[in-house]
Amino acid sequence: MSDNQEQLAMIAITLPDGTVRSCPSGSTGYDIALSIGRKLAQDALALKVNGSLVDLSTPLTSDARVEIVTFDSPEGKDIFWHSSSHLMAQAIEELFAGSRFGAGPSIEQGFYYDIASEHRFREEDLRLIEQKMLEISKRDSKIQREELTRSAAIEFFKNKRNDPYKVEILEETLKDVDTVSLYHQDGFTDLCTGPHLPTTSKVKAVLLTNISSSYWRGDSSREQMQRIYGITFPSDKQLKEYVTLLEEAKRRDHRKLGAELELFMLSAEVGSGLPIWLPKGAIIRNELESFLKEEQRKRGYLPVYTPHIGNIELYKRSGHYPYYSDSQFPPLTYHDEEGRKEQYLLKPMNCPHHHLIYSSKMRSYRDLPIRLTEFGTVYRHEQSGELNGLVRARGFTQDDSHIYCRPDQLVDEICSAIELTQFVFGTLGFNDVQTRLSMHDPENQTKYGGTAEVWAQAEKDVKEAADRMGIEYFIGIGEASFYGPKIDFIVRDALGRKWQLGTVQVDYVMPERFDLTYIGSDSQKHRPVVIHRAPFGSMERFIGVLIEHTAGNFPLWLAPVQAVVLPIAEDVHDYAKSVQQALLGAGIRSELDTRNEKIGKKIREAELAKVPCMIVIGQKEKESGEVSLRRHRIGDEGCFTVTGLTEKLLKEIAART
């Protein structure tokens, strides 16, 4: 250190592995990454300081825990794709003058931006925008943060950017904020909290994937905008890997397979987002329902049924209306014979109905826990642009249960619900499961029902149960329901995509709203606690994910057609029919293919239909009283007696392997 640097203060930087480095005060994230290694400095995108994300250029002036954020992490991808949405907006602005921009977030796989433009974007425009994005990337434009007062930012977007959308956000959404941040790159500026990439040159590969429509701020009464989706990567190799994955995802698309395998249909005459189950799909759904009902019976659940509509006052009492009013169908209004106005809602949730069942008579502490369960269909008016076959529908059936228990029973009941959810996922081949403890945001308490004390207790209960079960979990602040924290299960499918499916929720709020009570051992009234629980979540969404996870290759116990009998020639049709009747009599779902086609074609078509078992019968099998078993995607498994084959398949079906 020179004489001029002797007074330079040093700070202690603690890295994720516990290593402590001494760095000059004012060192940036890039400086710290470079001190560790040149490769890390090249890959660095941002910095996490004491758990908070900041730009890589942020100077550090005090001791801190520091993590270098790269594309390999979820935070890195989020920053990379959010910055890429700005890059796309800049490219569109340079190509199509006069375009204005609404919201441009990162999403799970990439990003989008909502655009107001007189130009109607087409597929060929996407290729043009991609080229412009790569051109801007090669400029190596520095992405710089600027903080302004809210009033100065309003002035900037009104007079220098002529951007009414950002002005509206500043004047309405951010009306209580004093200081906001802007990000500049070349002549493009956007309103954003950041952090962002240090430079546009980090983006090396671009693919714009889709154009759809949207409404400003999701409000169908506001102006319609154009939404462009895309994804970017730090290298061409990563993009090529993604495109390969995308092609496989298209092959597995549940909407495509649903049509090919005759599982479900979507009809404009019925309405968007309202799937119709065809016979084969109904079999899969019935098998899943039967599987869960069987497990629930073992665990003491009591089945109930509730209506598809309810008086709007019921949902006002529960809080679902107005909490979820934006995603509900409009009320059904009519006047009775005496002229009195009544309003009903298509049921958005099952829980208010179950609470009424609980309160229909006095309960004793000895009666608890009471576990009510229903495969109840509910309705949500999702935006048309968000609909996606079964996985995002407007009418769907939840495997809904509500457990009413004493506070001293609560953690045990949560653990039991977790165990059931884990059993369901394991049985159906979802072995890569993440768990999120979805907590409330204490900075926005008005979003939630109940008191801060109630929330503290509920979140303590959730965490205690998760710890007792030995679950590895992460915390999701702001992900709670309005009535309580959740344990959400996020499965990773065969392509590595994440889907939030099952959930277990703790609720101290609804017992207050519905005045739910039980008589305790002290002969006084007490409040039960409610657990909301749904291992599948939604039958439609779960089956849609399952179709894509398995590529339609369902396990034997779940397959709509478990076996197809394939006679080689007409002179064995009678024997083949007797084999099929034996299978049907044993409860094995089977079909008989007596078409005048070559056996090779019959086998190929059975393979395409993804039938697990093909029973091939020729003269040899008829004479020996046996059958030849061929497995889907595996091939020949040898000859069996009809009784031996039936026993083999029934054993496999019972084991749900």
Which residues contribute to the annotated binding site for Zn(2+)?
Answer: 351, 402, 532
The runs of H, that is alpha helices, within 253-311 are 254-260, 279-298
Q: Mention every residue, 6+ apart, whose C-beta is less than 8 A from residue 491.
A: 425, 430, 432, 433, 434, 498, 499, 501, 545
- Among residues 486, 533, 602, 610, which one is catalytic? 486
In the annotation, is 398 catalytic? yes
Do residues 299 and 420 lie in contact, with contact meaning Cβ atoms separated by under 8 Å?
Answer: yes
Rounded Cα–Cα distance for residues 40 and 571 (Å): 72
- Among residues 196, 371, 380, 394, which one is catalytic? 380
Rounded Cα–Cα distance for residues 227 and 213 (Å): 5
- Vertex 341 angle, CA 335 and 344, to 5°: 90
Rounded Cα–Cα distance for residues 443 and 347 (Å): 31
In the annotation, is 402 catalytic? yes
- Among residues 285, 402, 541, 632, which one is catalytic? 402
In the annotation, is 486 catalytic? yes
Give CB contacts under 8 A, 24+ apart, made by 644-653.
645/615, 646/582, 646/583, 646/586, 646/588, 649/556, 649/562, 649/563, 649/583, 649/586, 649/588, 649/613, 650/586, 650/587, 650/588, 652/556, 652/557, 653/556, 653/557, 653/562, 653/588
Rounded Cα–Cα distance for residues 651 and 657 (Å): 9
Rounded Cα–Cα distance for residues 383 and 272 (Å): 10
In the annotation, is 651 catalytic? no
Rounded Cα–Cα distance for residues 339 and 370 (Å): 40
- Among residues 55, 78, 90, 351, which one is catalytic? 351
Rounded Cα–Cα distance for residues 56 and 75 (Å): 13
Do residues 612 and 562 lie in contact, with contact meaning Cβ atoms separated by under 8 Å?
Answer: yes
- Among residues 398, 409, 505, 580, which one is catalytic? 398
Q: What token pair was written down for 536?
A: 């599948």
- Among residues 114, 163, 400, 488, which one is catalytic? 400
Residue 527 CA, chain-centre distance (Å), reads 33
Q: Mention every residue, 6+ apart, whose C-beta is less than 8 A from residue 531.
A: 402, 403, 405, 410, 413, 414, 417, 504, 505, 506, 507
Numbered residues of the known binding site: 351, 402, 532
User: How would DSSP label each residue in 546-563?
Assistant: HHHHHTT---TTT-SS-E
Residue 389 CA, chain-centre distance (Å), reads 14
Length, in residues, of the chain: 657
In the annotation, is 380 catalytic? yes
Q: How far is CA 44 from CA 20, 63, 234, in A?
A: 19, 20, 11
Give the residue carrying structure tokens 């425009």: 125
- Among residues 255, 532, 622, 632, which one is catalytic? 532
Catalogue the active-site residues. Answer: 351, 380, 398, 400, 402, 486, 532
